[in-house]
Amino acid sequence: MSLRLTVIGTGYLGATHAVCMAELGHEVLGVDVDPDKIGALRAGRVPFYEPELEQLLAKHTASGRLRFTTSYEEAAEFGQVHFLCVGTPQRKGSDAADLTYVDAVVEALGPHLTRPALVAGKSTVPVGTAARLARRLAELAPAGARAELAWNPEFLREGFAVQDTLRPDRLVLGVRSAAAEALLREVYAPVIAAGTPVVTTDFPTAELVKTAANAFLATKISFINAMAEVCEAADADVSVLARAIGHDERIGARFLRAGVGFGGGCLPKDIRAFVARAEELGTGRSLAFLREVDAINLRRRDRVVELARELCGGSLLGKRVGVLGAAFKPESDDIRDSPSLNVAARLRLDGADVSVYDPKAMDNARKSHPLLGYALSAEDAVRGAEVVLHLTEWREFRELDPAALAPLAHHPRIVDGRGALDAAAWTDAGWDFHSLGRAPGA
Ligand code: NAD
């Protein structure tokens, strides 16, 4: 059955959720405080790059099932379920999550709720937030409005956001009543009917499922990157090691590729916020290892900078470095805490003449890092380079022809910071090929 849903906060998560809820057959109103974002979405433009999203947005703005507004009055009047999808970035000067935006939604929506409504949080929040917001909602909602809160964390991956929303691995419903669970099951009825497992639980467990999942993924990446550090010291090859341990089903091959590490608007800030929250709860020791996970991750960026310097003969001053990639991951234009841009900025600071190219993230990169040099294509980034760094694993980069590129570089030297290029093909084409997790010069 079609429900009337609002999706509050139309960034990477919210815009995708709004469009996908319309695809499931619901009437959806997207809400944001940013009038430019709402203007773009109304005009059928997704203000970021995400495969499949723009076509679905066009389909549902045309079908009339999907509209956008900046008005909380309109949202409260319209919605039976309000999905809370605003950002929870790292607080300035602290590891903890900044809950200003989440709080602001409840403050703005609560007083306008005149009809029975379920507010379903999707943002990633520290455990205990949902219970606090539920209390605040009860204070703010007019008597008789019957406003209830639920926590329904989101696990989508940028680059696969549409698929992950329509066909998620699981749904987690943190609820305090059978009515709230029933309503969320109605929202996701087609997804559940397709066989998606549903885990129904309390608020704190639902909140923790999300942060625990991210902590596990970050740990897996830093585990293999720690092995890469050891391999570099021991003259071993981490890519062979990863393949061999990945055959063990208990370990699994995915998320075991050594490289320049994770970035983006989620994993780094989520593991820090998780540690900060555990410390507040008096159980900081339980998550102390996540500080090391973070440190290992950041050391990989240092390693790439160091390697580039070594390959440039000990000094980066005036050396041209081509950087392939600016987004924190492929199939996205998201540059939040991007390892590539972080490395590029540090090379520039050390005097390198950096030339960055990314298939989708150039506009965002230019805005956030205006002092870096930018290339018009991968070929252009390689031209005249002393060393090329492959730091975002776009298919376009994997498909480059190393033989055609070799004559463009000043010195055909490449560091594969993602362990994704065909080493033999690049070496055969005359490139001096380096990757992380192998002894220098191996
Ligand atoms: P984002 O910064 O892209 O989007 C946040 C949006 O909220 C912005 O459009 C902003 O204008 C809007 N906003 C801020 N205050 C508002 C308010 N008071 N009312 C209405 N709108 C408001 O962030 P995101 O990447 O979409 O992440 C949102 C949340 O989802 C975070 O908690 C994040 O950790 C979580 N999450 C993100 C992803 C992802 O891949 N991006 C995946 C799972 C979970």
Q: Which tokens belong to 259?
A: 């490289």
DSSP H or E segment with residue 271 = helix 267-280
Interval 204-218 mean pLDDT: 98
Report pLDDT digits (tens) over 157-202.
999 999 999 999 999 999 999 999 999 999 999 999 999 999 999 9
Q: Which tokens belong to 81?
A: 């379920």
Residue 442 predicted with pLDDT over 70: no
Active-site annotation, residues: 266
Ligand 1 site, residue 87, Cβ cutoff 6 A: yes
CA-nearest residue, atom 2 of ligand 1 = 87
* Domain residue limits, the chain: 4-200, 216-435
CA nearest to 417, candidates 245, 306, 232, 261: 261
Residue 110 predicted with pLDDT over 60: yes
Q: What is the pLDDT of residue 255?
A: 92
- What is 385-434 written as a DSSP string? -SEEEE-S--HHHHT--HHHHGGGSSS-EEEETTS-S-HHHHHHTT-EEE
Place 283 in a pLDDT band, splitting at 50, 70 and 90.
Answer: very high
Query: Alpha-carbon distance 158 to 330, whole Å?
Result: 9
CA-nearest residue, atom 37 of ligand 1 = 13
C-beta separation of 78 from 112 below 8 A: no
Residue 77 predicted with pLDDT over 70: yes
Q: Which tokens belong to 321?
A: 């470095």
Atom index in ligand 1 nearest the CA of residue 336 equals 25
Is residue 325 classed as helix, strand or coil in its secondary structure?
coil
Whether the CA torsion 383, 389, 395, 400 is positive or negative: it is positive
- Ligand 1 pocket test, pick from 266, 269, 337 with the greatest ligand atom count within 8 Å of Cβ, gives 266
Atom index in ligand 1 nearest the CA of residue 156 equals 42
Ligand 1 site, residue 99, Cβ cutoff 6 A: no
- Measure 409 CA to ligand 1 centroid, in angstroms: 41
DSSP3 helix / strand / coil % (the chain, rounded to 5): 45, 15, 40
Query: Alpha-carbon distance 262 to 392, whole Å?
Result: 10
Average pLDDT score, the chain: 97
- Ligand 1 pocket test, pick from 8, 10, 12 with the greatest ligand atom count within 8 Å of Cβ, gives 12
**Whether ipTM exceeds 0.85:** yes
Fold of domain 216-435: Rossmann fold (3.40.50)
Q: What is the pLDDT of residue 143?
A: 85
Ligand 1 site, residue 71, Cβ cutoff 6 A: no
Place 114 in a pLDDT band, splitting at 50, 70 and 90.
Answer: confident
Interval 241-253 mean pLDDT: 97
The answer to whether domain 4-200 and domain 216-435 are alike in fold is yes
Residue whose entry in the numeric block shows the structure tokens 């050390």: 350
Ligand 1 site, residue 334, Cβ cutoff 6 A: no
Whether the CA torsion 57, 62, 63, 66 is positive or negative: it is positive
Place 438 in a pLDDT band, splitting at 50, 70 and 90.
Answer: confident
Fold of domain 4-200: Rossmann fold (3.40.50)
| Cα dist from 305 to 78, 321, 348, 404, 415, whole Å | 52, 11, 10, 26, 10
- What is 368-384 written as a DSSP string? H-TTSEE-SSHHHHHTT
- Measure 9 CA to ligand 1 centroid, in angstroms: 6
Place 144 in a pLDDT band, splitting at 50, 70 and 90.
Answer: confident
Q: What is the pLDDT of residue 125?
A: 98
Residue whose entry in the numeric block shows the structure tokens 């590729």: 257
Report pLDDT digits (tens) over 38-74.
999 999 999 999 999 999 999 999 999 999 999 999 9
